[in-house]
Amino acid sequence: MSTFIQIHALTSHSTHCLNRDDLGHPKTVEFLGRNHGRISSQCQKRAIRDYMKLQEMAGDIGVRTKKLPLKVRDFLRENGVDDSLVLPLIPFIGALGEKKDPTKPVVKEYIKLSGRDDLSAEEKKKVTKAERTAQLIHIKQPEIEIIKQSALDACREGGKADDVKKYFKKAIEKKLKKATFKDGVDIALFGRMTTSPVFDDCDASVSVAHAMTTHPVFDQNDFFTAVDDLGDEGEGSGHMDDKAFSSGIFYRYASIHYDQLLKNMGNDKKLADQAVDGFLKAFVMALPTGSQNGFAAFQQPYAVLITTGTGCPTNLSNAFASDVKAASPLEKAVRQLVAEFGRTQTFFGDLKPVDRAAVTCQYGEFLPEDLGGLEKKETLGDLLVFVPEAI
C-alpha cells in the first residue's frame, strides 16, 4: 500500500498581489458560484524550489533552462577547444530536448552566422534558436556536468566535427541513463517530462493544489502618484498609475506520495526523509515574490494540519463551501478545517486510513476542544518532528 503525507495550511494575507493574471490583477477562481482569491500551484512550487535552494535544504536543486548549449559552449572555449569543433556541436546540444537531431543545413547556417555583428533580425532569431533547447528542460547539476565533460572529451578524442557529435551522443546517452534523481531533489518531488530519449522522465511525487481563499474576495485598486523632485511648484505629479490588490485567508494543500519519492530517490530512505522534511518546511515558509516590495505580504501560516497514512489524498477545500463569516474569521476558518477533517474520517472510515494526524495553531484558543482524532501540537516545530516518526 502507498503512504501519503498531506499538509493543509491557513494563511492570512493582508493587502497583496502575490500571483497576477494577464491583466495584472490577483488571480481568482469561481468556487461554488462565488469569486475566491487564488495563488496558482506553479507559483507556489517556484517559491518552494527557490526557498529550498536558498536554505540549502534536502540536497541539490536542479535548474530549468533553455540555455544549456551556451553553458557548454562557454565551458569548451574556456578549456581551449577551437570553434571549428565547438560551433558544430551547439545546435546538436540544442536538440537534446527533441527526438531528432538538427539537419546539416541548420548546422552550416549557424556556423556561418555565429560571431557576426551585422546580423539581421531574422538571422539573429536563427542563431538564438540554435543556441537554445526547444523546450525548457529541468536538469540536475550533475547532468549539466556530465554533458559539459562529455562534450569536452568528444572534442579532444573525436577528431573531426561529425565524429565529435557521434562520440558525444554515445557518451551522454550511456552516462545520463546511469544517473538517479538523488542529486536533483526538486525533480524527485515535482517530476520531469521531456520529449528527448536522452533524459529520463520522472513521475512527480508531490501534488500541490492552487491556494484558495476561504471566502469570496473582490479586487481593489490603489491609485497612486509620484512627485517629480525637480519639478516646479504647482506642476502636479510626475507619474500616475493604479495597482490592483486583494486580501484574504488562504487555504493551501499539498500531498506527498512517499513511495514514489522513495523510488525517485533510488530507495534511499535517509535522502527521501530529508526531502520530505525540506519540502514541508519550505511549503510553510516559502512565499511568492509578486509585488512584495509594494505590499510586503510576508505572512506565514497561522494554522497547519498534517496527516500520514495509506488512505488516498483528500483536499479539504469543501470546508469552505460556506463562507467564513464570523466575528473572528481566523478562528472560524480553523474550526471549519478541523471539522471537515473529522467529517471525512467519519464518512470514509477504513477506506481512508490515517495512521497519525496532528494540528498546530498560532492561536491555540482557536482550536476546538474536540479535535476528532487530531493530536494537538504546541508549535510548528513539534508538528514537523512527528512526521519522520509516522513514516
Quote the pLDDT of residue 177: 66
- Mean per-residue pLDDT, 239-259: 94
For residues 306 and 383, what is the distance between their CA atoms, to the nearest angstrom?
8
At residue 173, the 3 state secondary structure works out as: helix
- Mean per-residue pLDDT, 262-285: 92
pLDDT band for 327, please (50, 70, 90 cuts). low
At residue 245, the 3 state secondary structure works out as: strand
pLDDT band for 361, please (50, 70, 90 cuts). very high
Condensed to tens digits (0 to 9), the pLDDT of residues 114-127 reads 878 888 999 899 88
Condensed to tens digits (0 to 9), the pLDDT of residues 12-54 reads 998 999 999 998 899 999 998 899 999 999 999 999 999 988 8
- Mean per-residue pLDDT, 66-94: 90
- Mean per-residue pLDDT, 357-382: 92
Quote the pLDDT of residue 207: 97
Share of the chain above pLDDT 70, in %: 95
Quote the pLDDT of residue 193: 84
For residues 30 and 52, what is the distance between their CA atoms, to the nearest angstrom?
32
Quote the pLDDT of residue 2: 86
Judged against a pLDDT cut of 80, whether residue 198 lies above it is answered with no
Quote the pLDDT of residue 180: 63
Three cell numbers, residue 84: 571549428
Judged against a pLDDT cut of 70, whether residue 178 lies above it is answered with no
DSSP 292-305: HHHH------SEEE
For residues 296 and 245, what is the distance between their CA atoms, to the nearest angstrom?
12
Judged against a pLDDT cut of 60, whether residue 59 lies above it is answered with no
Quote the pLDDT of residue 181: 65
Judged against a pLDDT cut of 90, whether residue 206 lies above it is answered with yes
Judged against a pLDDT cut of 60, whether residue 190 lies above it is answered with yes
Judged against a pLDDT cut of 80, whether residue 129 lies above it is answered with yes
Judged against a pLDDT cut of 60, whether residue 249 lies above it is answered with yes
For residues 116 and 126, what is the distance between their CA atoms, to the nearest angstrom?
13
Quote the pLDDT of residue 231: 81
CA-wise closest residue to 363 among 385, 325, 327, 334? 334
For residues 38 and 185, what is the distance between their CA atoms, to the nearest angstrom?
27
Rounded to the nearest 5°, which phi and psi values hold at 119? -75, 145
For residues 192 and 181, what is the distance between their CA atoms, to the nearest angstrom?
10
Quote the pLDDT of residue 233: 79
Contacts of 169 (CB under 8 A, 6+ apart): 92
- pTM of the full predicted structure? 0.89
First to last CA, the chain: 13
pLDDT band for 158, please (50, 70, 90 cuts). low
Helices (H) and strands (E) in the chain, counts: 13, 12
For residues 20 and 28, what is the distance between their CA atoms, to the nearest angstrom?
9
Q: Which of 26-40, 128-142, 171-185, 209-223 has the lowest mean pLDDT?
A: 171-185
Condensed to tens digits (0 to 9), the pLDDT of residues 210-238 reads 999 999 998 888 898 888 888 887 777 88
- Mean per-residue pLDDT, 143-168: 82
Quote the pLDDT of residue 102: 78
For residues 177 and 197, what is the distance between their CA atoms, to the nearest angstrom?
10
Quote the pLDDT of residue 325: 66
